[in-house]
Amino acid sequence: KAGVTQTPRYLIKTRGQQVTLSCSPISGHRSVSWYQQTPGQGLQFLFEYFSETQRNKGNFPGRFSGRQFSNSRSEMNVSTLELGDSALYLCASSLGTGLSETQYFGPGTRLLVL
Amino acid sequence: AQKITQTQPGMFVQEKEAVTLDCTYDTSDPSYGLFWYKQPSSGEMIFLIYQGSYDQQNATEGRYSLNFQKARKSANLVISASQLGDSAMYFCAMRVPTGSARQLTFGSGTQLTVLP
């Protein structure tokens, strides 16, 4: 079974631009979560989607948004990019949202904002 | 609020030896799940092992075992017979079933280096 895929893998943008990242979950998985990883802040939760509904949102500004499609694929968008948005963005999928559900991560998208 | 603490920023271990990576957690929720992930330099987070708060036995997965001490709120990862490929960043994470904390809360990680 194919793992979680994320595109693009690397991205360079300039301040003020917007970016869209894509995540395809493991087949059959309906829950997708997004995390931001930076050297300073570590791993921080962005959002969680299940069956096209946002179930949970982390403490990020409104410039960060996401959505999930009927095939469980998910996208996240960052508008008006800032230098501090440079990070590794990780997507994770799981069958459901239960406590013991293991989240399986993709390889991440490395975003550099200049 | 939930919190995970990993106090060892870096660890070195000789190949074929065992190593313990520390993790302590804090939550007032009686029901929780604890996870360990490995992150090689490529960036992908690889799931290693899971322990539920009500599990009576310590979890084991191949060379990985979790030393779960509930009263101490610790969930240390033990890697037996270390291999060079085990060199990576290791993260402890926790999940509780209620509200906004249902997502994984991660510790700061431990960088493990296996020496030949």
pLDDT digits (tens, 9 = 90+) for A27-75: 999 999 999 999 989 999 999 999 999 988 999 999 999 999 999 999 9
Cα dist from A89 to A9, A101, A111, B17, B56, whole Å? 10, 21, 7, 34, 35
| Mean pLDDT, chain B, whole residue set | 93
CA of A107, closest CA in chain B: separation in Å?
Answer: 4
What digits encode the pLDDT tens for the residues B11-67? 999 999 999 999 999 998 899 999 999 999 988 999 999 999 999 899 999 999 999
Reply yes or no on whether the pLDDT at B99 is more than 90. Answer: no
Q: Which chain B residue is nearest to residue A90, measuring alpha carbons? A: B44
Mutate to test the interface with A, among B100, B103, B106 (most CBs of A within 10 A): B103
| CA–CA distance, B53 with A72 (Å, rounded to integer) | 30
Mutate to test the interface with A, among B89, B102, B106, B110 (most CBs of A within 10 A): B102
Tell me how far apart the terminal alpha carbons of chain A are, to the nearest angstrom: 37
Per-residue pLDDT band for B100 (boundaries 50, 70, 90) equals low
Single out the residue of B21, B23, B19 nearest to residue B34, CA to CA: B23
- For the record, the structure tokens of B64 come out as 């990985």
Reply yes or no on whether the pLDDT at B101 is more than 60. Answer: no
| Interchain CB distance below 8 Å, A99 and B104 | no
| CA–CA distance, B25 with A73 (Å, rounded to integer) | 32
| CA–CA distance, B89 with A82 (Å, rounded to integer) | 27
Reply yes or no on whether the pLDDT at A25 is more than 60. Answer: yes
Q: What is the pLDDT of residue A98?
A: 81
| CA–CA distance, B5 with A107 (Å, rounded to integer) | 25
Rg (CA), chain B: 14
Single out the residue of A93, A66, A90 nearest to residue A78, CA to CA: A66
Nearest beta carbon to residue A105 from set B32, B44, B103: B44
Numbered residues of chain B with Cβ closer than 8 Å to any chain A Cβ: 31-33, 35, 37, 42-47, 50, 52, 91, 95-97, 100, 102-109
| CA–CA distance, A74 with A4 (Å, rounded to integer) | 11
